[in-house]
């Protein structure tokens, strides 16, 4: 019996140093956490709630650092936000519910929380871009299509969060705005393909959240309610591709917002978001109108699974702009050519769009000696064009093209020299 007790005491004595070391290590980690993130808890919380609050916040920080790879600056921004959102809570349940809600939003790319962390991060621009795609699990499949397979999702309200758009565009320009553009490396390729997913969010948000008989009416409603102006002045020839001979434009391009609305630093969101509208039906023209989903929730990117009608939508689809298109806004220096470097001379498209643009060709513009000129530069042009009988549209367009050539300026069909008595 004595030997057994002696053995137990010896074992316990051996454990004590380890237990003491563990306690001090635990205490040290807590002290480091409090000091690093300047945790402040309202006195009303009390000792127990205060400890549980800090413990839960510490666990969140560990996950955001280890799993999501955020840097110290981004994590500090998150802690500050959580404290601001929970400081007014008086009940413990409300406190932890608010904390959980904030953490959930860190998993939503483009959310207010995510954007604050993105802006606060001191990672180099290229690492931040890579981090976003990593969060979304962005990978290029066998048909060159970008599939999103990660644990994070894109926010549904991306169109309203212009701050994220401005920040993401700024970083893309910082890294890739040169003559090589996004063609420089594999990350650039994925960033090019990623714009399609941003288009999808914008399209769905307008359709699902604003009233109107047509997509255009809903877009106008969005512009009215948010105070955003619509730009119709940039060339739409790449979105008027045809399989046969070109006769006259069938679609117009609208970019949002017409001018920069950002006040944060050097961010600029002018004419970044894009919509293509059918001049007759006023519906959006988009690849996302026709893409099929597979049973596992991915996009069916096999080009052989799409017919000509569907490929026409893919060929003429919208395309978010990383550079800033000039249009007729006169708010960009003439030497600024990031739009061409990033959006026009871009890396390879997915195979489905390669096939679509092989079948459907864009017309040569008037500026290059061709027969394409934009009909629509203002919404009043659309009403004027719609009032022209179908049988006379080709004739009216030919006169409008000739007038535009002679004047050397494109004013829109309603303001051209042949603007009077169009239906005669």
Q: pLDDT tens digits for 235-280?
A: 999 999 999 999 999 999 999 998 888 888 888 888 999 999 999 9
What pLDDT was estimated at residue 263? 81
What pLDDT was estimated at residue 423? 39
The answer to whether the peptide bond before residue 58 is cis (omega within 30 degrees of 0) is: no
Higher pLDDT, 196 or 3: 196
- Which residue(s) pair with 252 in the sheet? 277
Q: Which residue is associated with the tokens 């179908």? A: 390
Q: Is the pLDDT of residue 18 over 70?
A: no
Q: Residue 412 region, left (φ>0) first, then alpha (ψ -120 to 50), else beta?
A: left
Of 402, 338, 286, 393, the C-alpha closest to 171 is 338
For 254, the token pair is 């609208």
Confidence band (pLDDT; 50, 70, 90) for 422? Answer: very low
Q: Is the pLDDT of residue 424 over 70?
A: no
Higher pLDDT, 2 or 179: 179
What average pLDDT does the segment 394-423 reach?
81
Distance CA 193, CA 321 (A): 12
Confidence band (pLDDT; 50, 70, 90) for 415? Answer: confident
Long-range (24+ apart) CB contacts under 8 A made by 186-190 are 187/126, 187/129, 187/130, 187/133, 188/347, 189/140, 189/347, 189/348, 190/133, 190/138, 190/140, 190/146
What average pLDDT does the segment 165-193 reach?
92
Distance CA 67, CA 29 (A): 19
What pLDDT was estimated at residue 381? 96
117-121, 212-216, 217-221, 337-341: the lowest-pLDDT one: 337-341
Q: Is the pLDDT of residue 389 over 90?
A: yes
Dihedral sign, CA of 207, 210, 216, 222? negative
Higher pLDDT, 41 or 215: 215
Rounded to 5 degrees, φ, ψ at 244 are: -110, -150
Say if residue 376 is exposed, middle or buried (CB neighbours under 10 Å; 0-12, 13-18, 19+): buried
Confidence band (pLDDT; 50, 70, 90) for 123? Answer: very high
Distance CA 132, CA 146 (A): 14
- Which residue(s) pair with 299 in the sheet? 293
Q: 307-336: b or e for each residue (b if 16 or more CB lie within 10 Å)?
A: eeebbbbbbbbbbbbbbbbbbebeebeeee
Are 315 and 353 in contact by the 8 Å Cβ rule? The answer is: yes
19-33, 330-344, 383-397: the lowest-pLDDT one: 19-33
pLDDT digits (tens, 9 = 90+) for 89-106: 667 788 888 889 999 999
């Amino acid at each position: 019996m004595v030997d057994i007790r002696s053995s137990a005491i010896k074992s316990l004595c051996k454990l004590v140093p380890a237990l003491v070391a563990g306690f001090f290590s635990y205490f040290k980690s807590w002290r480091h956490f409090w000091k690093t993130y300047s945790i402040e808890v309202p006195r009303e919380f009390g000792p127990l709630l205060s400890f549980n609050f800090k413990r839960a916040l510490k666990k969140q920080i560990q996950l955001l650092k280890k799993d999501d790879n955020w840097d110290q600056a981004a994590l500090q921004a998150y802690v500050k936000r959580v404290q601001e959102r929970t400081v007014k809570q008086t009940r413990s349940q409300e406190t932890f519910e608010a904390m959980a809600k904030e953490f959930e939003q860190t998993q939503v790319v483009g959310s207010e929380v995510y954007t604050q962390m993105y802006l606060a991060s001191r990672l180099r621009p290229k690492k931040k871009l890579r981090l976003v795609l990593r969060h979304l699990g962005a990978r290029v499949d066998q048909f060159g299509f970008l599939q999103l397979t990660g644990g994070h999702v894109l926010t549904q309200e991306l169109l309203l969060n212009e701050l994220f758009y401005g920040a993401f565009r700024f970083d893309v320009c910082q890294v890739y705005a040169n003559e090589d553009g996004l063609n420089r490396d594999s990350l650039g390729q994925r960033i090019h393909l990623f714009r399609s997913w941003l288009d999808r969010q914008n399209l769905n948000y307008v359709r699902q959240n604003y009233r109107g008989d047509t997509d255009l009416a809903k877009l106008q409603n969005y512009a009215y309610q948010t105070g955003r102006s619509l730009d119709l002045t940039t060339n739409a020839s790449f979105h008027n591709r045809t399989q046969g001979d070109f006769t006259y434009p069938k679609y117009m391009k609208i970019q949002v917002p017409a001018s920069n609305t950002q006040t944060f630093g050097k961010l600029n969101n002018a004419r970044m978001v894009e919509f293509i509208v059918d001049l007759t039906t006023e519906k959006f023209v988009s690849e996302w109108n026709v893409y099929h989903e597979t049973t596992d929730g991915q996009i069916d990117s096999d080009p052989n699974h799409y017919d000509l009608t569907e490929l026409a939508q893919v060929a003429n689809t919208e395309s978010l702009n990383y550079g800033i298109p000039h249009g007729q806004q006169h708010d960009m220096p003439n030497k600024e050519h990031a739009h061409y470097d990033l959006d026009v001379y871009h890396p390879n498209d997915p195979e489905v769009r390669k096939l679509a643009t092989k079948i459907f060709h864009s017309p040569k513009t008037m500026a290059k000696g061709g027969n394409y000129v934009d009909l629509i530069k203002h919404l009043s042009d659309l009403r004027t064009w719609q009032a022209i009988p179908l049988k006379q549209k080709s004739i009216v367009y030919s006169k409008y093209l000739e007038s535009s050539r002679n004047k050397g300026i494109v004013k829109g069909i309603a303001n051209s020299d042949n603007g009077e008595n169009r239906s005669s």
